[in-house]
Amino acid sequence: MNGVHEVGVDEAGRGPAIGPLVVCALCVPSSDRSVLNELGVDDSKKLSRKKREHVFGRICSISEERNWGIGLIICDAEKIDEWMVSGTINTLETKLFAEAILEAAKDVRECKIIVDACDVNESRFGKGVSENLGDGWGGCEIVSKHGMDSEDVVVGAASIIAKVNRDSEINKISREIGMDVGSGYPSDPKTKDAIEKLCSGVTPHGSLRWGWANVQRSWIKQNKMPMPRRSPEQGDWAQSTLVDWEK
């Protein structure tokens, strides 16, 4: 890839109790911003499911024609739980963002990286991404701000790719267990019912984030015993509030 490129990065599935965290990085020549605008790209949350999937299909098709780079990282619930034994959701995301960037921009020599900051401290999040990228990327500018999926069209496109892939993973889980698990977020009634079912087996279902407090409450309520450890190294911990996610 010759010339100056821009890499937009965003995630889907940070807070849900069910399913993976999906991160996408999209690398495009700076001159192709207008192409994304013509496709109707916007923050994935602002688009209907039908519109989002249509725009997603167009992005994927044009990315092949124009040699855009796409880095997609799907971090399943088990990997999230393993990381959270000693880390935080923010440090995990800086790692996943960097992995997605390395995949999307592996042939790029000069670029500007724009990330939708997941930390309450925008600069700290950008610094974490930079550290995970390593010394070879020191010459690339990193812009780390909140709400970039709404403000920047490249980040908006990345948010669409991440969201559609996250929805696909959730649909797979729904088909597997034979019920609609909803969005995966704790406030969703369908998700609440799904968590109850997924905690009714010999062990909690693999698609659950075992460290999330609502999952642990459901398990303890039904089984009258402590939550099992997902791995021998896992201690006693729980992801309980949005404040925890912002540490």
Task: Quote the pTM value.
Answer: 0.91
Q: pLDDT for 152-169, tens place per residue?
A: 999 999 999 999 999 999
pLDDT recorded at residue 233: 56
pLDDT of residue 135: 86
**Residue 32 pLDDT exceeds 50:** yes
Q: Per-residue pLDDT for 220 more than 90?
A: yes
Instruction: Decide if 62 contacts 68 (C-beta within 8 A).
Output: yes
pLDDT band at residue 54 under the 50/70/90 scheme: very high
Pairing type for strands 5-12 and 111-116 reads parallel
Tallying the residues shown for the chain, one arrives at 247
Region 146-150: mean pLDDT is 97
Q: At what angle do helices 89-104 and 122-133 cross, to 10 degrees?
A: 50
For residues 211-229, give the mean pLDDT: 94
Q: Is the pLDDT of residue 47 over 90?
A: yes
Is residue 209 classed as helix, strand or coil in its secondary structure?
coil
pLDDT at 210 over 60: yes
Spell out the long-range contacts of 139-147 with Cβ–Cβ below 8 A and sequence spacing 24 or more.
139/110, 140/110, 140/111, 140/112, 140/113, 141/112, 141/113, 142/113, 142/114, 142/115, 143/112, 143/113, 143/114, 143/115, 144/115, 144/117, 145/115, 145/116, 145/117, 146/116, 146/117, 146/122, 147/116
Calpha distance 150→114 (Å, rounded): 12
Hey, what domains does the chain have and what are their CATH numbers? 5-171 (3.30.420.10), 178-245 (no CATH)
pLDDT of residue 232: 56
Give the integer Cα–Cα distance in Å for 237 and 88.
11
Q: Which residue has the higher pLDDT, 242 or 228?
A: 228
Measure the CA–CA gap between 241 and 239, rounded to whole angstroms: 6
pLDDT in tens, 71-125: 999 999 999 999 999 999 999 999 999 999 999 998 787 899 999 999 999 999 9
pLDDT at position 186, please?
84
| 150/58 Cα distance (integer angstroms) | 19
pLDDT tens per residue, range 233-244: 544 434 333 333
pLDDT for residue 240: 33
pLDDT value for 230: 84
